[in-house]
Amino acid sequence: MAITWEILEQTCNACARCRLGENRTNVVIGRGHPSAPILFVGEGPGRQEDEQGLPFVGQAGELLNLACTSLNFSPEDYYIANVVKCRPPENRTPFAEECMACLPYLRSQFA
């Protein structure tokens, strides 16, 4: 079932499907053009992403932006999301159950 971006954002912002949301500053849903032909998916937000509520805004984001620019991609050409929408403690790798809890959100973004 397709949902709107507004409903996806509301659902993610209210999410309590796993324990990652207990210490989040912001839910990190995505950035870019929602119907772009390219989707980049990262593992999970880090400290800067949690603070700003946007994925790939730290060093990795700078590198990705540079790579996209060098390939002549404009921001309308891609969308960036993470598997998990809340920062894992100490930037650890998300646990499988945390990834599974966020999987419906990523599937909606992909659709």
Rounded Cα–Cα distance for residues 54 and 45 (Å): 8
**pLDDT tens, 18-38?**
999 999 999 999 999 989 999
How far is it, in rounded angstroms, from Cα 80 to Cα 59? 15
Map out the domains of the chain with their CATH numbers. Answer: 5-110 (3.40.470.10)
Q: Residue 108 and residue 111: Cα distance in Å, rounded? A: 5
- Entry pTM: 0.89
Beta strands in the chain, from DSSP E residues, in sequence order: 30-32, 38-42, 78-82
Which residue, chain included where needed, has tokens 């932006």? Answer: 65
Residues of the chain with pLDDT under 50: 1
Q: Return d(Cα 5, Cα 24) in angstroms, integer.
A: 21
Q: What is the pLDDT of residue 38?
A: 94
Residues 6+ apart with CB under 8 A from 84: 20, 43, 44, 45, 94, 98, 99, 101, 102
Position 59 scores a pLDDT of 87
